[in-house]
Structure 1
Amino acid sequence: MKARSDELQVFVSVIESGSISAAAEQVGQTPSAISRTLSRLEAKLETTLINRTTRRMDLTEEGKFFLEKAKHILAQMDDLEERLSLRQHTPAGRLRINAASPFMLHAVVPYVAEFRALYPDILLELNSNDLIIDLLEQSTDVAIRIGTLADSTLHARSLGSSPLNILASPAYLKTHGTPTTVEALADHSLIGFTQTETLNHWPLRHAEGDRLQIQPALSASSGETLRQLALAGEGIVCLSHFMTHEDIRLKRLQVILPEANSGYRQPIHAVYYRNSQLALRIQCFLDFIQKKLANYAA
């Protein structure tokens, strides 16, 4: 049986205060409780720590050795508690973030310098994966997920949403013309995703509803690859505003069929494990990135 920290504290208190009665007053226990704790500690250690008489107490050699080690252990515990308390008020430590490449490149990386300036004691570790990962397996604190969340035991926090736009480069439109109806898309080169069928359902109103299922002429697994293909003039694409707002602003991509867009917005969530209070470093990142995502609301 191992000694507990409260037993170490009682032992040190008895020695430092000079008597069992003084130690009892110091720790808020009865003298008999203190005496029982000392006896229990000695029984666990299978040695005598203090030679006690009615008039005095003397440490044995084993007691002197144990006192030194007990003080060191209690000091380390106090230091650990102080550090943990400090971290609850000052964000610090390693923060592992996982997100799909487009989100990481366009919604996180541009703001890393600002975040690090605000929270210099947080050590960021950024990982990209276009597939759903196991947070524990990948040692991840927070994963950013785009789209509707599947049922999960993870905690989730909404970070906002981002519109989907139908886009093409000016070069492509100059060569192939600009479609003015949803039906006209059938005569164009459409770029879509190889995985997750719902990603090829474009938010366009037509005769059969407000979602158009397309058959891509060119496919890729990553949204960033689709973006690059669209920039290269390979066809028309449907992508989230968070990753294309700069392309639109700089006229590298042009929004088409805006009047037919049904207005669907992709939900954006942060998912994480939480056993109790959320670590401050995670809370700070979520608050920070949520404010930045508000820039992509239109």
Structure 2
Amino acid sequence: MDIHSDELKTFVTVIDSGSLSAAAVHLGQTSSGVSRALARLEEKLQTSLLTRTTRRMELTEEGQLFLVKARTILSAMEEAEESIRMRRQQPAGRLSVDAASPFMLHCVVPHVAEFRQLYPEIRLELTSNDRIADLIEHRTDIAIRIGTLSDSTLHARALSSSPLHVLASPAYLARRGVPQTPEDLAQHGLLGFSGYELGNQWPLRHSEGNTLAIAPALAASSGETLRQLALEGQGIVCLADFMTRDDIAAGRLVKVLEPFYTGFRQQIHAVYYRNTQLAQRISCFLDFLQQKL
């Protein structure tokens, strides 16, 4: 039995992608080519790894066992490759970075070209999820998280912090008026988060404390969606400085209720599992990103 690393990679990519067609796009192959590679692998192993129907695809018991081994083998090969490159002090290999869409768009993407020029041997994979429960399950090396961290099993590095601003477009304020106190917000259309109640606690001093719980008239799960809604004049929003700084400077969004700000800043952390093989890639990326922030 002579199993090739390309066959292992194809098998793992099919599982991670969820379908033959998606894996084919990721691998730059045809769906029929991916299907043939899987068939060859199953023939060599003399067992079925997947059960496939017209609607879905599931791992067999043997397939589940083989997937664990295949991941281990591919990881070991990647680590061996990196260990050689490290002798030349050139960080190399795959580095998967996840962040919520606003942070990814405003704080990571603008600097990717420079990072790739500095570290051409690192293969960046960028994903955007607001919350990840298991970095290993999602094959994520670094996750950038905004706010309080809860998972103590992860290694965390503080990168920066960002103030929050209460904002509206000039068109909205011209139409609905400028609120003079936090209590005035009850008469306005407020934009807030769905499924993330902490995002609807605005850091404003008022008669009952330093945090104002708002009831959104229009809610969205993404901060970037809320930013766009505010730009379109749909209401007042509370968002981080890192994603609205340019809008404020250009006058597209205007700060309101500044005298009532508490000075609260959201913490920005990078979280990852301790992994000596990844250490060089992680360190160079986080050093670079922290410098930019």
Question: Following TM superposition, by how much is the alpha carbon of 1:183 offset from its aligned partner in structure 2, in angstroms?
Answer: 1.2
Q: Which residue of 2 aligns with 1:5?
A: none
SS, match of residue 259 in structure 1: helix
Q: Which residue of 2 aligns with 1:113?
A: 113
CA gap of 1:83–1:102, structure 2 versus 1, over 3 A, is closer
What is the alpha-carbon distance in structure 2 between the residues aligned to residue 281 and residue 275 of structure 1? 10
SS, match of residue 162 in structure 1: strand
CA gap of 1:81–1:199, structure 2 versus 1, over 3 A, is closer
TM-score by length of 2: 0.70
Aligned residue identity for 1:231:
L
Whether 1:142 aligns to 2:142 is yes
Question: Following TM superposition, by how much is the alpha carbon of 1:250 offset from its aligned partner in structure 2, in angstroms?
Answer: 1.0
Aligned residue identity for 1:205:
R
Aligned residue identity for 1:288:
F
CA gap of 1:83–1:149, structure 2 versus 1, over 3 A, is closer
Question: What aligned pairs does 1:206-245 form with structure 2 within 5 A after superposition?
Answer: 206-245=206-245
Whether 1:128 aligns to 2:128 is yes
Q: Which moved more, 1:155-164 or 1:129-138?
A: 129-138
Question: Following TM superposition, by how much is the alpha carbon of 1:123 offset from its aligned partner in structure 2, in angstroms?
Answer: 1.1
Question: Following TM superposition, by how much is the alpha carbon of 1:159 offset from its aligned partner in structure 2, in angstroms?
Answer: 0.6
Higher-Rg structure is 1
SS, match of residue 267 in structure 1: strand
Q: Which residue of 2 aligns with 1:102?
A: 102
* Percent sequence identity over aligned pairs: 64
CA gap of 1:229–1:82, structure 2 versus 1, over 3 A, is closer
CA gap of 1:81–1:171, structure 2 versus 1, over 3 A, is closer
What is the alpha-carbon distance in structure 2 between the residues aligned to residue 144 and residue 83 of structure 1? 24
Aligned residue identity for 1:250:
A
Please give the per-residue CA displacement for 1:129-180, whole angstroms capped at 9, x wherever unaligned: 1222411011111001111001330111111110000000111011111111
Aligned residue identity for 2:83:
L
What is the alpha-carbon distance in structure 2 between the residues aligned to residue 96 and residue 263 of structure 1? 33
Q: Which residue of 1 aligns with 2:83?
A: 84
Question: What aligned pairs does 1:258-277 form with structure 2 within 5 A after superposition?
Answer: 258-276=258-276
Aligned residue identity for 1:86:
R
What is the alpha-carbon distance in structure 2 between the residues aligned to residue 82 and residue 183 of structure 1? 60
Alignment RMSD, CA only? Answer: 1.6
Q: Which residue of 2 aligns with 1:163?
A: 163
**Unpaired stretches in structure 1, ≥5 consecutive residues:** 1-79, 294-298
**Unpaired stretches in structure 2, ≥5 consecutive residues:** 1-78
Please give the per-residue CA displacement for 1:188-207, whole angstroms capped at 9, x wherever unaligned: 10000111211100010011
What is the alpha-carbon distance in structure 1 between the residues aligned to residue 243 and residue 111 of structure 2? 14
What is the alpha-carbon distance in structure 2 between the residues aligned to residue 116 and residue 212 of structure 1? 42
Any runs of at least 4 consecutive aligned residues in structure 1 with deviations exceeding 6 A, and if so which? none
Please give the per-residue CA displacement for 1:54-112, whole angstroms capped at 9, x wherever unaligned: xxxxxxxxxxxxxxxxxxxxxxxxxx979615326211111100111111111101111
CA gap of 1:81–1:124, structure 2 versus 1, over 3 A, is closer
